[in-house]
Every structure is written in structure tokens, then in C-alpha cells.
Structure 1
Amino acid sequence: MTETRIEELMCLEEQGWAALCRGEGRAFYEVMLADDAVVVVPGALLDKAQTLASWDGVPPWEWYDLVKRHVAHLGEAVVVVYDVTACRRLQTPYRATASSTYVPHPDGWRLMLHQQTPWA
């Protein structure tokens, strides 16, 4: 995979977190999530519809930071792994290691699996 492709996928991760900060996560991920996507977050295993609904009524993140990025290739699929720190207004920062698996799609990349493991 070319460096340009890797940067493209990291850019998608950045765009997703930025959309969540603007309160636009549902609109962004309605397009980015594959129809049969799975999202694994603390205490939940969600399909696409459940993931989109999970943002209803939730305050947006105020800021985020992605670090320690790594990319792994699984055939045509690509896994992006990173540490994230994000914070909502007046809350303790959330810290986790996250991974996103992207698959090629005729209209670009689609997110097939996203997983977050909170730090202890």
C-alpha cells in the first residue's frame, strides 16, 4: 500500500472524529460505515443502525487527539490502529486504543469494523 493510501485512511479517521466533534457523526458514518459494519465499544456490539442511533442525544466531543498510528494490511482490507484521547465538555478525557478496518468500495473506502479498548 502506498504512503498516499495510508494517509488517505488516517485522514478518514480524522474526518470521523472531527465530525463527532461537530455533532455530525451520524451523517458522516451513514456514508462511511459499510451496510454490514460492526462497531465494538465498551459494553456494546453494534450494527450500523445501532451505531448511528447511539449518537442521538449524546453531546459531541469538544476535542480529540490521535497518536501512535499503525497500519496493517489484510488482503484488500486495511486496519488502522491508534490511541485516542477525546473529551466532552466538563467530563474526564476518554482514552482508548482504537482500530478501524476499511474495505475498498466502488465509491471509496468503507468502514467495516471499528473497535475501542479503553485504557485502565
Structure 2
Amino acid sequence: MSSAIEDRMSAQGTPAKWRSRDRPVHHRRSETMTLGNELYEIEEGFWLEGKEHFLDHVDEKCLLAFPQMGEMHGVHSRAEVAATATSANRWQGLTMKDRQLLEAGEDFAVISYRAEVTRADGEPYAALVSSAYRRRPDGWKLAFHQHSPV
């Protein structure tokens, strides 16, 4: 899936927007792909792609922290999280700003960013988002995901 999102660099050298491109099921980092690029590419898929992306990239169990009423909160299975990725609740026009990355060892990393996006119903949405990933034999898997609407 290609997107019109273009790569741009902020004054600090942190990519302000990232390009979406066709993705293999398991992300294998090449010498030119940084951990940040890899994780943000996976993260973008959670906003814009469907159930298969969730099944491929969510860990066996995942802690979700959503403050909105009716949203999932707590520890959920991969299948439960993937079931939320329906066409009725997909997003459009995603921008990820102020991207941060914490590498907390070889097999654990946390990213944080400001998301600006439009809901399927046309409503704009903005939030500070954090996600934690664990490296598994078949790639990085989402273990924690949190939104704080702004």
C-alpha cells in the first residue's frame, strides 16, 4: 500500500512524516532501515491497515490504555485486538509528529508521537500516543499501546 506521506526531516533530524510502502509480513531490518523507521512503519499500519496487520504485529497479549468511553482498556489477546480493525473504524490522513524512540535493550523499545488523523466518519482526532514493542523471532510485536487525546 502506498501513501502520499512524504519523508521530511525536522530541525532535530527526527523524521516528521514517514512514507508508507508495501510491507512484508515480518519486518527484517536492512542495514539502511533504522529501528525507528521499522517501528514507525509497523505503527502506521495499525492506523491505516486491517486485521491481518494486527495479527502479524501484535504480541500474544497486549496492554491497551484508551481513556475514551467504549474503547478497549486492559490486557487483551492478539485476536481480540485484531478484531477491532474493521473498515468501519479505519483512519485517514495520518500525520505522526514529534517522534520519539527509547531503545531499552536489544529486545524492547518504546515509541511516542503526536498523531493527527481523521476518523472514518470524518471527525478529526489528535492524541499523544505511546507504544512498546518486544522483539520476537519473527519480528517486532506490539505489547503496549496508549492514547491521550489532545
TM-score (norm 1): 0.80
Q: Of 58, 67, 70, which aligns to 1:33?
A: 58
Distance in 2, matches of 1:105 and 1:90, equals 36
Partner of 2:128: 97
Identity across the alignment (%): 26
Q: Which has the higher strand share?
A: 1
Decide which structure has the larger Cα Rg and report it: 2
Unaligned runs of 5+ in 2: 1-30
What letter is aligned with 1:82?
A: Y
Unaligned runs of 5+ in 1: none
User: Are 1:86 and 2:111 counterparts?
Assistant: no
Distance in 2, matches of 1:90 and 1:56, equals 13
More relative contact order in 1 or in 2 (CA 8 Å, sep 6+)?
1
SS class of match (1:58): helix
> Cα distance, 1:7 vs. partner?
1.4
Describe the shift of the 1:42–1:60 C-alpha distance in structure 2 as closer, same or farther (beyond 3 A): same
Distance in 2, matches of 1:56 and 1:90, equals 13
User: Are 1:58 and 2:91 counterparts?
Assistant: no
Partner of 1:4: 34
TM-score (norm 2): 0.66
Q: How large is the Cα RMSD of the aligned pairs?
A: 2.1
Paired residues, number: 113
